[in-house]
Amino acid sequence: QTEMAAPQVTRAALEAWEAAGAANAQAALLLREALDADPRFLPALLALRSAFLHAPSLRDLGRPDPTPEALGEAVARAGRIARPDRHPDWRFLEALASDAAATPTHTFLAGMWLYLVEEDFTGAVALLSKAAAAGSVEATFNIARCYFRGDGIEKDIAKAAELYCHAVDAGDVSSMVNLGGCYECGEGVEKDLSRAVALYRSAAQEGDAYALYNLATLYQKGRGVPQDSAGALALYRRAAEAGDPDALFTLAVYYDRSDPAAGIAKRDAVAAARLYERAAAAGSVSAMVNLGVCLATGDGVVKDSAAAVQWYRAAIDAGADADAMMNLGACHEHGRGTAWDPREARRLYRWAVDNGADCATEALVVEELLPGLDEDLNEDEDA
């Protein structure tokens, strides 16, 4: 009975979506009900991700609803369990998209399955283009992103900006953020910080975490707006409340270093460590490294070398972070939180240098640490 409930409720949600011409509160409510019935039903996860991405005001932070990123990762992770073309949830979407009465929303979601789960970018572009031509603003955004990245289609940033502009005219929040980025960096359009600020503000008013974060960085640096440290901090807080990992990390750095101009007069190691932990849990690689340092040194938290090692390893797995490699190498060199292993330490130090450790770090590794480890290895072999 549960297996039947989720597809039925999801169908009703997509009908509500199509009737309104965009993601809406009724559709989001029904998608939540579908996931209450079956938390692993991928079409509902995929649809709710898109709803929150394109209409962030639909997220209930008191519930709390997951972020679009968390939902997208859940879809990709679950979809990898079996071959996507044999997955029963794919057959559900495929049937909707191939039906004579298929709506643009059905076609859009099938295209996003191909993009996120199968990574079949060419197939995704075909379906997303069809959906965009039929009026799906969400599909228009994703086609623009494909042009921007060159996923399944020849890279054309100017074309991406043009499509983002069309989607902005239709009120798409995610397109406001991405078009703002184009104007901020001068990609596909002439650089215009005032235009970027206006677009970020429009998206921020809808609660978009990326827009809040981007607007905060402009206020922090005084780019396109008067420099305002306190205003930047307030925007970072709002973005962090919406679950943005970069905002959580940046907020942690404020407390870690203090910033009197922003209203943080003294360093607060405990607050910083808590925010690093939240940011790390949300996927920030930099936060994973800094949390590891906090745990290794007992700065703001109870000292726990083994937990520090776990976070360094998580950072390496998530982003091949050079600082994490250096720190984990030191743990192996000295046997802190893990087994003493000079060979592994040497491997990690070399890996850190190859992955962008700065010049000072590279000199330290090559001139000081690695020769000493060579001696340790030779002594171990002689023994």
pLDDT 10s digits, 308-319: 999 999 999 988
Q: What integer best gives the mean pLDDT of the chain?
A: 89
For the segment 215-241, the average pLDDT, to the nearest whole number, is 96
For the segment 371-376, the average pLDDT, to the nearest whole number, is 56
| Separation between Cα atoms, residue 179 and residue 157, nearest integer Å | 11
| Separation between Cα atoms, residue 16 and residue 51, nearest integer Å | 12
pLDDT higher than 70, residue 113: yes
The set of residues, in sequence order, having a beta carbon less than 8 Å from that of 100 and lying 6+ positions away, is none
Q: Residue 323 corresponds to which tokens in the numbers above?
A: 């600082």
pTM of this prediction? 0.87
Question: pLDDT of 27-39, one tens digit each?
Answer: 999 999 999 999 8
Q: Residue 126 corresponds to which tokens in the numbers above?
A: 């075909």
The set of residues, in sequence order, having a beta carbon less than 8 Å from that of 36 and lying 6+ positions away, is none
Question: pLDDT of 189-200, one tens digit each?
Answer: 999 999 999 999
3-state helix, strand, coil in the chain (%, to 5): 75, 0, 25
Q: Residue 141 corresponds to which tokens in the numbers above?
A: 């955004």
Question: pLDDT of 265-310, one tens digit each?
Answer: 999 999 999 999 999 999 999 999 999 999 999 999 999 999 999 9
Q: Picking from 97-111, 275-289, 303-317, 363-377, which range would have the lowest pLDDT averaged per residue? A: 363-377
Q: Supply the pLDDT for residue 362.
A: 53
Question: pLDDT of 164-217, one tens digit each?
Answer: 999 999 999 999 999 999 999 999 999 999 999 999 999 999 999 999 999 999
Residue 127 carries which side chain, given as an amino acid letter? L
Q: Supply the pLDDT for residue 2.
A: 44
Query: Residue 332 — pLDDT band, cuts 50, 70, 90?
Result: very high
Q: CA angle 44-48-54, nearest 5°?
A: 150
Q: Supply the pLDDT for residue 373.
A: 55
Question: pLDDT of 45-58, one tens digit each?
Answer: 999 999 999 999 89
pLDDT higher than 80, residue 240: yes
Query: Residue 353 — pLDDT band, cuts 50, 70, 90?
Result: confident
| Separation between Cα atoms, residue 252 and residue 299, nearest integer Å | 13
Q: Supply the pLDDT for residue 375.
A: 57
What pairs with residue 259 in β-bridges? 264
Query: Residue 22 — pLDDT band, cuts 50, 70, 90?
Result: confident
